[in-house]
Copies of this chain bind each other. A is one copy, B any other.
Amino acid sequence: MSDNTVYRASTTAPVNIAVIKYWGKRDAALNLPTNSSLSVTLSQKSLKTHTTASCSASYTGADSLLLNDEPEDIQSNKRTQACLQLLKRFRHDIEVKNPSAPKLSTMPLKLVSINNFPTAAGLASSAAGFAALVRAIANLYELPHTPTQLSLVARQGSGSACRSLMGGYVAWRAGTARDGSDSIAEEIAPVSHWPNLKALILVVSADKKGVASTAGMQTTVETSTLFKTRAESIVPQRMEEMEAAIHAKDFAKFAEITMRDSNSFHATCLDSWPPIHYLNDVSRAAMNAVETCNRKAGKLIAAYTFDAGPNAVIYYEEENEKLVAGVFRYVLQQVKGWEGEYGAQIPSNEQGGLEAKTVMTLKAGVSRVICTGVGDGPERVEEHLVDDRGKPVRI
C-alpha cells in the first residue's frame, strides 16, 4: 500500500436513556460514578450518531474531529484525548506484536461525525457521540476488544457513553477499583429478550439551559445531605430489583422502579445547594398524564423518567400503545414527530381522561415528540463520511 492509503471505518451508535440514573462522580478525571446505573438502548431508526474514523500517513497536522460540519477543538478536550490515547495504545500493542500490521497508531486521525437528532431537542448527544467515536476507531484499528472492554474507554469520554456500546438493556457497574478497571458496562439482556418496549419522548421547550449535568452532579455530591443515602443504599438495591424485573419482563415492576428512581434523582437535585431544578410544570403534567394512564388501566402500563432537563421519556409495552402513546398523540397531534416507523402506527386515543389543566399544560409546553423503542447497539456501516482521499463527504 502506498503512503497515501486512507484507512476508514464507520459506525452508527445509539442513544440510551437510564432507568436507574447516573448522577455523581467519585473520580472526575476517570469519570467513575458514585453508583451503578442501568439504561435502555434506544433504536437507531429514531436517534443515532454516525461516525467515520479515518487515518492516513498522508494526513498532516493533529487529530481532528468534524461534528455536524463544524470543527471541534479536540486537542484541548481532556476527555476526547483520554479516549484517543487509550485506543492508540491498544493499536500500538497490536503493531508491536505483529510488525506487518500498518502503523495506524502513528498516523493522524480524521474523525467525522453527524447526529440525526432533531435540532434543539435538548437531548444529550454525548453518549451516542462518544460511543460512536470509540466504536469507529476500534473498528479502524481492528481492535479485538469486546464492547464491555471498550466501555472502559468510552466511559472516560462521557460517563453514560459506556452504556451506548451495547443494545437492549445495559448496566454500568460502578466498580470499586481506584483505577476504574472494574467500572464497566455490560448488556444484561439483548433486545430480543424484551423487544416490545417502546419509548415516547416529549421534548419540552425550556426557557433556558439548566445547570449542565457535569457541574450539577458535583454540586449534588458535595452538598446534598440525602445523596449519600441514595448512592450507597437505595441504588444498589434498585439495581438488583431492576435486573430481576427486566429478566422477568415484569413491566409493572420496571415502571415503578423507573419512576421512583427518576424522582429520587430529582429529589437529590432539589436537595442540592444551591438547589437544581430540571423538572418544570410541563414535566409534572407529563407525570400526571402517565399516572392517569396507569390509574385508568388499573396497573402500571407506563413509566416516566427525566434526565437533566424537562423532557419526559415515557416507556410502555407495544400492546399498550393506544392506552399510553395514543393518549399523548390525541393531545399533541399538532406537534412534529409522529411520522416514521415508530410513530406512524400509534393510534390517536381520545379516551385518555386527562385533566383539562394537564392537557393545556402539555399542549403549551411540548414542542415535539420522538417515537422510538428499545434497540440494538452500534452498527458497523459502509457509508463513510470521509472519501478515499480523506475529504469529508456529505451524505
Contacts and interface: CB of A to CB of B under 8 A. Distances in A.
A383 interface: no
B267 A357 contact: no
A287 to B, nearest CB: 7
Contacts of A275: 259, 263, 287
Nearest to A295: B274
A277 B271 contact: no
A255 to B, nearest CB: 12
Copies of this protein in the complex: 2
Contacts of A234: 225-226
Contacts of A273: 256, 259-260, 263
Contact of A226 (B267, B274, B280, B281): B267
A272 B264 CA distance: 8
Looking at A229, A230, A270, A273, which has the most chain B CB atoms within 10 Å of its CB? A270
Looking at A271, A274, A284, A357, which has the most chain B CB atoms within 10 Å of its CB? A271
A270 B279 CA distance: 11
Interface residues of A, number: 29
A21 B230 CA distance: 21
A266 interface: yes
Is chain A's interface secondary structure helix, strand, loop, or mixed overall? helix
A382 interface: no
A247 B129 CA distance: 55
Nearest to A274: B291
A230 B277 CA distance: 20
A268 interface: yes
B277 A284 contact: yes
B264 A225 contact: yes
A270 B280 contact: no
A233 B228 CA distance: 12
Given A260-B271, A275-B287, 15 more contacts: A225-B233, A225-B260, A225-B264, A226-B234, A226-B264, A228-B229, A259-B275, A263-B270, A263-B275, A264-B271, A266-B270, A267-B268, A267-B270, A267-B271, A280-B284
25 contacts: A208-B357, A225-B229, A225-B230, A225-B233, A225-B260, A226-B230, A226-B264, A226-B267, A226-B268, A226-B271, A229-B229, A259-B273, A259-B275, A260-B271, A260-B273, A263-B270, A263-B271, A263-B273, A263-B275, A267-B267, A270-B270, A275-B287, A277-B284, A280-B281, A281-B281
